[in-house]
Amino acid sequence: MQLVIFDLDGTLYRTHETLMPAFREMCERYGIPLTGESENFLMYTTTQSFLQKNAPDMTAEQRAEFGKEIKRREVAAVKERGRLFDGVREMLDSLRNDGVEMVICSMGTKDYIETVLDRCGIARHFRKVYHRVEGLTKSQVMKTLLVEMKPDQIIMAGDSITDITAARENGVPFIGVTYGYGAEDIQDSDALVHDVKNLQAEIYRFLIYSRIEREIFALPKPCVIGINGIDTSGKTMFSDNLCKYLQRRGITAQVLHGDDFHNSLAVRRTDDSPEGYLKHAFDIPRLEGVIRKLKAGEQTTVDLLDLDSDTYSEKVFEPTDVIIVEKVLLYREPLKALFDYRIFIDITFEEVLVRAMARDVPRYGEDYLLRYKQRYIPAQKLYIDRYDPKGCSQLVIDNNDVQRPVISYFEGS
């Protein structure tokens, strides 16, 4: 089961629009001063905790009356004008359509959460709602959630210190949303996103990263992961972010970028045909030597090429538990046999040209597209026909939509 845990207030729902007007009125009535800091504190705590901190002289009866009236006013406001953050409904629809299970884990009351979900028309998206339980922290509520749900893969999205604390204490990867109410307290998130569109993309990526983490768990270390795909498929970004994810999970990892192992310009120009690109683009013995050294747990030093300047500089590689190698034309001998786990990132050749237009034309000019049409794409078609890189991969990722990367094949499926 793939499971996403969502906080509600400040992650999916615009809490401030329905809570703060009523709260300010009640604080004015009781003479409780409000600051920006105290309002933010309210966004991720309970009314009673807020009153204990900001109105310690209130009697228990006054606190109970205050809380009851706030609840009444807020529920009325939710029913009248409650709103989700822009893009939330579309994100939930996409995840649900792709078979991802979702739950709410919030410190709100059961009645409040259900009122919000009903008002916003999203109750059907969630398999279950985990609400505030008197005397339990959010971390303890989440522990119950994990015992009951027993997910194979899990991530959490939230906006506050209570969210990230709950995730950390339960070993759950955490995506922090900065558009909520506690951005300063969640800077140590496994990933930070600034809008719902990027939250959706990050959720899809994290679900893939967590699957890879699970798949390589039992592999002998050091292990080598290959990331292959045609030009502009997203190999570099995926590899770098996978590396960061594994590091945040306590796994030492590094990335070898194929571009650093190009042959010099003089060698690459030996033959400008697609066949020549296959034969002369990369210094395969140099890359093979680095992989073999690292796989043996040894330090190694190598000269890497800077493509723009066509000059070499020395780099020292230290051993790590995971070595990620990302490159075009990757799954050929002698390199193919070195990989313990092979991934292929898949896009269409039509999408290659769209991305090349956006990425390379502004930098190199429109004539650069001719290289794709006359050399790079034909060479990669030859590579696919000869070596079947998708067929030899344990995991294939459809990355045609960068906001919705999905696994299209995994070994054993």
How many Cβ atoms sit within 10 Å of the Cβ of residue 161?
A: 16
Last residue of a domain, one of 166, 194, 215: 215
What is the rounded distance in angstroms from the CA atom of residue 319 to the CA atom of residue 253?
9
Average pLDDT of the segment spanning 51-69: 85
Min mean pLDDT across 153-167, 354-368, 377-391 is at 354-368
Do 186 and 176 touch, CB atoms closer than 8 A? yes
* 371: CATH: 3.40.50.300
What is the rounded distance in angstroms from the CA atom of residue 208 to the CA atom of residue 206?
5
Does 365 share its domain with 244? yes
Tokens of 380: 């990669």
Last residue of a domain, one of 188, 215, 242: 215
Last residue of a domain, one of 157, 181, 215: 215
Does 206 share its domain with 158? yes
Amino acid at 72: R
What pLDDT is stored for residue 236 in this prediction? 94
Total domain count, the chain? 2
Question: DSSP letters of 350-379?
Answer: HHHHHHHHHHTHHHH-TTHHHHIIIIIHHH
HSE toward the beta carbon, residue 355, CA cutoff 13 A: 15
Tokens of 62: 């006054």
pLDDT band at 68 (very low <50, low <70, confident <90, very high): confident
User: Does residue 1 register a pLDDT over 90?
Assistant: no
Place of tokens 């992989």: 291
What is the rounded distance in angstroms from the CA atom of residue 48 to the CA atom of residue 55?
10
Cis previous bond, 222, omega within 30? yes
Task: Report how far Cα 396 is from the mean position of its chain's Cα atoms.
Answer: 17
Does 224 share its domain with 210? no
Q: What CA–CA distances, in Å, run from 280 to 269, 274, 385?
A: 8, 10, 19
Residue 171 lies in domain: 1-215
Task: Report how far Cα 11 is from the mean position of its chain's Cα atoms.
Answer: 15
In the predicted model, what is the mean pLDDT of the chain? 92
Does 223 share its domain with 264? yes
Average pLDDT of the segment spanning 355-359: 89
**100 closest CA partner among 214, 1, 211:** 1
Does 133 share its domain with 257? no
pTM reported for the whole predicted model: 0.86
pLDDT band at 412 (very low <50, low <70, confident <90, very high): low
What pLDDT is stored for residue 44 in this prediction? 65
pLDDT band at 33 (very low <50, low <70, confident <90, very high): confident
Strand ranges in 183-321 using DSSP code E only, listed in sequence order: 191-193, 223-229, 253-257, 300-306, 311-317
* 211: CATH: 3.40.50.1000
User: Does residue 58 register a pLDDT over 90?
Assistant: no
What are the tens digits of pLDDT across the range 231-263?
999 999 999 999 999 999 999 999 999 999 999
Average pLDDT of the segment spanning 13-27: 87
**381 closest CA partner among 333, 329, 342:** 329
